[in-house]
Structure formats: structure tokens, C-alpha cells
Amino acid sequence: MAAGDKPETVTIDLDASEVALVIGEEDGAMSVRVVTGSDVSPDATEMPAAPEIVLALAMRLLKDPDFHDDVLDWYYEHQDEDDEDEDEEGDEEEVKG
């Protein structure tokens, strides 16, 4: 992408109760955004649980350089378990069918 070019954007619709953690990377630097399906008032004294959890994850990603490595390690360690669970579910469906 040439300097000054705008990156391609994608639109996603969130339910009012949903919150998205948007992680990007450009020129080797990570960017993190929290997007809510409904506005949270700046005057609010408490934040609903979902935005608060996502905001905490975003802050941890930005302020703890080892955290994203830990998250990826956890993901790769458990990815095999998810694949095994899917295989077992597929075997059960074959037996039923």
C-alpha cells in the first residue's frame, strides 16, 4: 500500500450487547480497538461486564509485551484439543447416520 492510501475496511454489525476487540498490525506495530454495539455513556460510573472484559484484554495486550505470546501459546496448545473434539463429534454423527 502506498503512502496516503487508505486501507480497505470491512463492516460488521454488532448486537447492542456485543463488544468487539479489533486487533491490527501495520509496519510491525500492533493496534487495538474496542468497539461496542451500543454507546457507553462517558458519565457512566460502571461499565457493563462485556465491555469491561474486552477493555481489560485490550489494555493487557498493549501494556504486557509477553501476553500476546502467552495467548498464542495457549491457543496452539488447545487447538489440537479442539480438532480432537471435532473428530469425535464427526465419528458420533457417522455412527448415528
pLDDT of residue 46: 82
pTM, full prediction:
0.61
What confidence tens digit (pLDDT) does each residue in 40-93 have? 777 878 878 888 899 999 999 889 989 988 988 998 998 877 666 666 666 566
What confidence tens digit (pLDDT) does each residue in 87-97 have? 666 656 665 55
Domain shared by 52 and 95, yes or no: no
Domain shared by 34 and 3, yes or no: yes
φ/ψ of 53, rounded to 5, equals: -65, -45
Domain shared by 13 and 41, yes or no: yes
Domain shared by 37 and 49, yes or no: yes
Domain shared by 88 and 70, yes or no: yes
Total domain count, the chain? 2
Q: Which residue has the higher pLDDT, 1 or 72?
A: 72
Q: What is the domain extent for residue 58?
A: 1-63
Domain shared by 56 and 75, yes or no: no
